[in-house]
Amino acid sequence: MWSNLNESFSAITDHISSLLDQQQEQSSDSNSNHRELELKISLLKNEIIRHREIAKTYKDRWLEAEKCCQKVLGHFSQH
């Protein structure tokens, strides 16, 4: 489940980044617009990185909880 979610998330964020890069190239005519767009792109990329880290944290916690449940279930099945 997590690998599919991570792959989907990565594909979406990579697509957004490439669209933003294309937009940046197309908007390079005007300096002020270019700087403003560059800032927005930078902020969005930082947000993408932050959300990837959040997703990784949730994945790690989920896997840890799964292991805990397996240990508990294994313990009860032995009694």
Burial 12-28 (b: 16+ CB within 10 A, else e): ebeeeeeebeeeeeeee
Q: Is residue 2 part of a domain?
A: no
Q: Is the pLDDT of residue 63 over 60?
A: yes
What's the rounded Cα separation, in Å, for the pair 77 and 79?
6
Q: Is residue 47 part of a domain?
A: yes
Q: Is residue 6 part of a domain?
A: no
Q: Is residue 23 part of a domain?
A: yes
Q: Give pTM, 2 decimals.
A: 0.51
Are 8 and 65 spatial neighbours (Cβ–Cβ below 8 Å)?
A: no
Q: Is residue 20 part of a domain?
A: yes
The predicted pLDDT at position 65 comes to: 93
Tell which wins on pLDDT, 8 or 1: 8
pLDDT band at 24 (very low <50, low <70, confident <90, very high): low
Domain that holds residue 25: 16-78
Q: Is the pLDDT of residue 2 over 60?
A: no
Q: How many Cβ atoms are within 10 Å of 8's Cβ, its own excluded?
A: 10
Q: Please state the domain count of the chain.
A: 1
Q: Is residue 11 part of a domain?
A: no
Q: Is the pLDDT of residue 11 over 60?
A: yes
Q: How many Cβ atoms are within 10 Å of 66's Cβ, its own excluded?
A: 11
